[in-house]
Amino acid sequence: MLTEGMRQISRLELADIRRGLENFTSPSAAGLLDSLGRTRGERVEKMAALLRNSSEADVEEMGTVFGLAMAKLAEEQATGSQAPPPAARREEQPRRRRGETSAEWRRERRGLSPAS
Q: Length of the chain, please? A: 116
Which DSSP helix (H) or strand (E) runs through 4?
helix 2-10
**Model's pTM, two decimal places?**
0.49
Contact 51, 59 (CB under 8 A): yes
C-alpha distances (whole Å) from 71 to each of 64, 65, 66, 88 are 11, 10, 9, 20
Q: How many whole angstroms from its chain centre is CA 47?
A: 11
pLDDT number for residue 105: 74
Contact 63, 50 (CB under 8 A): no
Please name the residue ranges forming H helices in 13-116: 14-25, 29-36, 40-52, 56-79, 86-92, 102-110
Residue 24 has pLDDT above 90, yes or no: no
Residue 86 has pLDDT above 70, yes or no: no
CA distance 59 to 75: 24
What percent of the chain is predicted at pLDDT more than 70? 73
pLDDT in tens, 6-21: 666 667 777 777 777 7
pLDDT number for residue 88: 53
Q: Which residue has the higher pLDDT, 2 or 25?
A: 25
